Amino acid sequence: MERRLVTILAADVVGFSRLMGDDEEATLATLTAHRQAIDRHIENHQGRVFGTAGDSMIAEFSSPVEAVRCAVEIQQDIKERNNKLRENHRMRFRIGVNLGDVMVAKDDLFGDGVNIAARLEGIAEPGGICISGTVFDQVEGKLNFALNDLGTHQVKNIAKPLRVYSVSFDEPGGAGGAWSGEALQLPDKPSIAILPFDNLSGDPEQEYFADGMAEDIITEMSRFRWLLVMARNSSFAYKGKSPDMREVARDLGVRYVVEGSIRQRGNRIRVTAQLNDAASGIHIWAECYDRNLDDIFVVQDEITEAIVAAIEPHISHKERERAQRKPPSSLDAWGLYQRGLAAYYTTTEDGLASAIEMFDRVNELEPHFQAAFAMAAESRVRYVMFYRADERAALLEQARQKAQQGISLDPGDPLCLLAEGRVNILLGQFDLAISQIEEALALNPNYAMAHYALGWALFEAGRPEEAIPRLDNAIRLSPHDAFLSGFQHIRARASFALQRYQECIEWERRATHGPNAHHWAFVTFAAALFKLDREDEARDVVADLLQRAPNFSISFMKASFSVDDPLDDTELIEAFKRAGVPE
């Protein structure tokens, strides 16, 4: 067979079976008209249709740029055509685009290149477009559309996880991304993003030090209430890239950007950093530090103080002192802590178990390293939330003890206060949790995870209306957060509790397509659809739920409900049973 590298576009109609059930003749007439329009767009962009099957089709292109442009024109054209139809006759397509090696047999194409395009189509929202990382690499900077990173996805029958991006064009909110493509309005107070430092040492082990340097600067800068600091997970979305400063300013809504690098030779290390006016691209300040490795933490403090002084030259001596921190004295402990963070951010069961072990080891090596106690507690909290309900009581008690140990080291640090607050949410002590999280936010008002946790606590306490602005703050502060799906999920739950079911659906649609999406997002997604009598769509979501969590059951669902949970509804339970969830 001949092999060649091509760009594959896969398209499929959303809810085709339902449309056929409502009106076969009208559905076929609409499909025929849409297909004729789609074929014209493909031909205009030098593409070729090579496969159709009812409501789906596949085309090939020699150029990834032309394939994405074609996909956008298709979706825009279909939207205009749908606007002329009655709601129950409107037909929406999902589109996936992939660049890959395929096998050619006469007029057919085979291989993972084709299969991946089909999987990307399944990830896209109705009316949306998803592209693979291979396509992104070819089209970045060549199109007038925002490309939103949806993280990695493990899909059926494909061995390696896929890096997925959505394409935002002319629809509000884009095609499933957290950012619509419009520039975020700058806040009233100074705003800053600290990008991940480049590791120029050629030694992969130094990646931990480079990441740790940027993360510690973020942490220390966030102590200042007058400064809006982008969360670590949003800044680290640019890791491994060389973004234009204007792009960062537009994406994150910041005025200043810090970038830097680390280079090690023997026992000497050189750290460079520079502060940029992101709107103009002008360098405001730059500095280079040569130090022995033993001085690495002192260097970090100097850089932090210098950045703050460059932004606000009239800062008082007391405020500069607040920017100082007491890092762990053991480099081994520091490296282990960074590895624990990497494991924690995987959010897998094995990853969280490994994170718990590493953070506990750091606690032994460096008993005055407060952040490690916070993460030892947080890892247990997340482990209980998603994987180990059978050890719930023991793990939560361990988490509480870890958080309290950290608080005893410094009662004014927000990390461990937040960790204990999250423990108390899971224990149902909502008033205490709210008090602790509010105290953490008073110490660090730019802490996105604390805004999220407060929204979660308020929701669980039966105060969903108050929860919503807190959750919106979390999403605003960290629009690229590794746990953005969790933020969006609780935002959806609050909408559900207020019986705003369509609003809930929109938030859960984002949550289920984002990185680290968990099965509870699919549960609420389906529940809202059931509430609006959209049972066919709900069944599709339940099918995705059971594929993601094969052991999910009605009994597990009931056992997980909190007091007065709005999902604890007899009619909803029966709907889930009808959709195939086992007892």
Q: Would you identify the CATH topology of the domain 328-441?
A: 1.25.40
| 342-360: average pLDDT | 88
pLDDT at 262: 87
d(CA 71, CA 95): 7
Q: Report residue 501's pLDDT band, with 50, 70 and 90 as the boundaries.
A: very high
pLDDT above 70: residue 86: yes
Question: Could you tell me what percent of the chain has a pLDDT over 70?
Answer: 85
328-441: same fold as 2-168?
Answer: no
Do residues 62 and 9 lie in contact, with contact meaning Cβ atoms separated by under 8 Å? no
pLDDT above 60: residue 226: no
pLDDT above 50: residue 244: yes
Tell me the CATH architecture of domain 445-583: Alpha Horseshoe (1.25)
pLDDT at 574: 92
| 289-297: average pLDDT | 72
Locate the domains of the chain by residue range: 2-168, 191-322, 328-441, 445-583
* 212 closest CA partner among 417, 362, 398: 362
d(CA 44, CA 526): 39
Q: Report residue 9's pLDDT band, with 50, 70 and 90 as the boundaries.
A: very high
Question: In CATH, what class is 2-168?
Answer: alpha beta
pLDDT above 90: residue 421: yes
pLDDT above 90: residue 301: no
77 CB burial (10 A radius; 0-12, 13-18, 19+): middle
**For the ranges 505-514, 520-529, 557-566, which has the lowest average pLDDT?**
557-566
* 450 closest CA partner among 466, 427, 434: 434
pLDDT at 467: 96
The CATH number given to 191-322 is 3.40.50.10610
pLDDT above 80: residue 292: no
CA separation (Å) from 67 to 70, 224, 293, 457, 540?
5, 47, 50, 45, 28
